[in-house]
Amino acid sequence: MSPTPAIHSLSTPPAPLLRRATSAASAFRESSQPPPSVSSRRAALLALVLAASPARPVAAAFSFSFPGPKELLREQKRKSARFLLAPIAASRDTLVKAQALLASANASAEDAEEVRGRLSAAGRDCVPRERNSIVAFQSRTGVEVCTFSLILKNAASLLDDKDPLKVAADTRLAELIQSFSDLRTVVENSNFELSGDRKKMNDDLLSTITALDKYEQGVKDCIGV
3-state SS, residue 71: helix
What is the distance between the terminal CA atoms of the chain, rounded to a whole angstrom? Answer: 119
Q: By percentage, how much of the chain surpasses pLDDT 90?
A: 44
pTM for this prediction: 0.68
Spatial distance between the Cα atoms of 98 and 135, rounded to a whole number of angstroms: 24
What is the predicted pLDDT for the residue at 49?
A: 44
> What are 52-94's pLDDT values in tens digits?
444 444 444 444 455 567 788 888 888 888 999 999 999 999 9
Confidence of residue 6 (pLDDT cuts 50, 70, 90): very low
Lowest pLDDT segment from 31-40, 63-72, 120-129, 160-169? 31-40
Q: d(Cα 22, Cα 126) in Å, to the nearest integer?
A: 102
Taking the C-alpha atoms of residue 223 and residue 13, their distance in angstroms, rounded to an integer, is 94
